[in-house]
């Protein structure tokens, strides 16, 4: 951020993806005369959509973006393996990527499409938004399936396994096509004149792409939440906007560490993990992905939590 005062934030686009919503949490919309503007009153950050998670890593590594926002894990279906594989960085393309923050987004999936073509004839008077019941269809047809005319469904792979019950009950007949994001799915459906496609996406995407909400809250589990990480490049001075801090609780420091262990050495992983305990680090998650060395060799990802008090005592 040396020459220009506007920080660039890369997120998984297009607009209205859940990653966009995460980016808005961390970098809220700028308004005049707040500390989200610099002295010249220009916005301090610009959110820039990227087509893939890989492109976000590349933008942060090259310095084109000062920060990146990437999905990391979901409370229903676990780790986002695309992101883990980029952190594993088996080809050494992203050596300077660091994690400097996190944010959580409640993920309420909707079925988006054009009501006229698929379920308008079966709409039951609602406005199409926000049913109270889990997996509630906005339109219901006596004895029939209101979504029968939907032939193709678009969404991000993570979304399919967060909505299994709704899909099994209502859309088992439809062909599924993976998209790089849920908002891209909505964009594709908006551009399909046949009206026989639908997207699993957000209510925000319905507004942005002019689609109808055919069903809402269709995720399997109440409280479905995705955790996103904020990336920056090591050595950069890119700062996160100031966040409120609860002074009653000492700040928590989280770290994400990636490592491999010698293959075929008994106890090698246990020895690595014991180090964290010895230094008062609370191990909060452990993940693995295939490593580059050979079959059944792994990269490990460990997250630790440390309170400020322990940091002072720690010998790191
Ligand atoms: O596709 C999106 O909207 C994303 O931001 C990735 C994602 C997909 C499904 C759940 C949460 C995040």
Question: What does the domain layout of the chain look like in residue ranges?
Answer: 1-29+44-107+222-236, 108-115+148-218, 251-315
CATH topology match: 1-29+44-107+222-236 vs 251-315: no
- Residue 313 burial (CB < 10 Å; 0-12/13-18/19+)? exposed
Is there a contact between 217 and 108 (Cβ–Cβ < 8 Å)?
yes
Instruction: Give the pLDDT confidence score for residue 144 in this predicted structure.
Output: 82
Ligand 1 atom index nearest CA of 183: 3
- Residue 229 burial (CB < 10 Å; 0-12/13-18/19+)? buried
Check pocket membership of 179 for ligand 1, CB cut-off 6 A.
no
Check pocket membership of 159 for ligand 1, CB cut-off 6 A.
yes
Ligand 1 atom index nearest CA of 155: 1
Check pocket membership of 156 for ligand 1, CB cut-off 6 A.
yes
Instruction: Give the pLDDT confidence score for residue 65 in this predicted structure.
Output: 97
Q: Which band of pLDDT confidence, cut at 50, 70 and 90, is reported for residue 274?
A: very high
Fold adopted by 1-29+44-107+222-236: D-Maltodextrin-Binding Protein; domain 2 (3.40.190)
Instruction: Give the pLDDT confidence score for residue 1 in this predicted structure.
Output: 41
H/E stretch holding 227 reads strand 225-233
What integer is the mean pLDDT of 45-66?
Answer: 97
Q: What is 193-205 written as a DSSP string?
A: TT--EEEEE-HHH
Q: To test the ligand 1 pocket, which listed residue (25, 106, 156) has its Cβ within 8 A of the most ligand atoms?
A: 156
Check pocket membership of 17 for ligand 1, CB cut-off 6 A.
yes
Check pocket membership of 158 for ligand 1, CB cut-off 6 A.
yes
pLDDT at 129 over 90: no
Q: Report the first-to-last Cα separation within the chain, whole angstroms.
A: 30
Q: Which band of pLDDT confidence, cut at 50, 70 and 90, is reported for residue 242?
A: low
Is there a contact between 233 and 98 (Cβ–Cβ < 8 Å)?
yes
Instruction: Give the pLDDT confidence score for residue 312 in this predicted structure.
Output: 56
- Identify the CATH homologous superfamily for domain 251-315: ACT domain (3.30.70.260)
- Residue 38 burial (CB < 10 Å; 0-12/13-18/19+)? middle
Mean pLDDT, the chain, rounded, equals 84
Residue 56 backbone phi and psi in degrees, to 5: -70, -45
Check pocket membership of 184 for ligand 1, CB cut-off 6 A.
no
pLDDT tens readout for residues 161-210 = 999 999 999 999 999 999 999 999 999 999 998 989 999 999 999 999 99
Q: To test the ligand 1 pocket, which listed residue (71, 73, 154) has its Cβ within 8 A of the most ligand atoms?
A: 71
Instruction: Give the pLDDT confidence score for residue 13 in this predicted structure.
Output: 97
Q: To test the ligand 1 pocket, which listed residue (83, 157, 159) has its Cβ within 8 A of the most ligand atoms?
A: 159
- Residue 116 burial (CB < 10 Å; 0-12/13-18/19+)? exposed
What integer is the mean pLDDT of 120-145?
Answer: 44
Give alpha helix (H) positions in the chain. 18-26, 53-62, 81-88, 157-160, 164-170, 182-190, 203-209, 268-278, 308-313
Check pocket membership of 231 for ligand 1, CB cut-off 6 A.
no
- Nearest-angstrom CA–CA distance, 189 and 186: 5
Q: Which CATH architecture has domain 108-115+148-218?
A: 3-Layer(aba) Sandwich (3.40)
The single residue listed with the structure tokens 């084109």 is 64
Q: Which band of pLDDT confidence, cut at 50, 70 and 90, is reported for residue 137?
A: very low
Instruction: Find the helix packing angle between 53-62 and 81-88, rounded to 10°.
Output: 30
pLDDT at 20 over 90: yes
Instruction: Give the pLDDT confidence score for residue 237 in this predicted structure.
Output: 77
């Amino acid at each position: 951020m040396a020459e220009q005062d506007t920080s660039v934030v890369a997120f998984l686009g297009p607009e209205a993806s859940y990653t966009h919503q995460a980016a808005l949490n961390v970098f809220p919309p700028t308004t005049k005369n707040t500390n989200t503007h610099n002295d010249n009153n220009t916005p301090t950050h610009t959110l820039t959509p990227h087509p893939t998670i890989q492109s976000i890593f590349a933008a942060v590594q090259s310095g084109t973006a000062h920060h990146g926002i990437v999905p990391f894990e979901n409370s229903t279906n676990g780790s986002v393996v695309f992101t883990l594989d980029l952190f594993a960085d088996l080809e050494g393309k992203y050596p300077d990527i660091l994690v400097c923050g996190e944010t959580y987004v409640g993920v309420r999936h909707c079925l988006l499409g054009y009501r006229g073509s698929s379920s308008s004839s079966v709409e039951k008077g609602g406005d199409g938004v926000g049913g109270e019941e889990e997996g509630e269809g906005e339109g219901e047809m006596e004895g029939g399936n209101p979504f029968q005319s939907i032939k193709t469904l678009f969404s991000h792979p993570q979304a399919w396994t967060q909505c299994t019950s709704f899909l099994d009950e209502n859309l088992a007949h439809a062909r599924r096509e993976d998209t790089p994001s849920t908002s891209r799915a909505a964009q594709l459906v908006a551009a399909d004149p046949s009206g026989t496609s639908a997207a699993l996406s957000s209510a925000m995407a319905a507004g942005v792409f002019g689609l109808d909400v055919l069903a809402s809250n269709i995720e399997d589990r109440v409280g479905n939440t995705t955790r996103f990480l904020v990336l920056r490049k090591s050595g950069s001075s890119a700062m996160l906007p100031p966040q409120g801090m609860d002074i009653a609780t000492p700040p928590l420091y989280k770290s994400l560490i990636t490592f491999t262990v010698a293959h075929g050495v008994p106890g090698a992983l246990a020895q690595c993990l014991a180090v964290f305990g010895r230094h008062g680090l609370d191990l909060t998650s452990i993940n693995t992905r295939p490593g580059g060395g050979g079959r059944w060799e792994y990269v490990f990802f460990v997250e630790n939590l440390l309170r400020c008090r322990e940091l002072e005592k720690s010998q790191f």
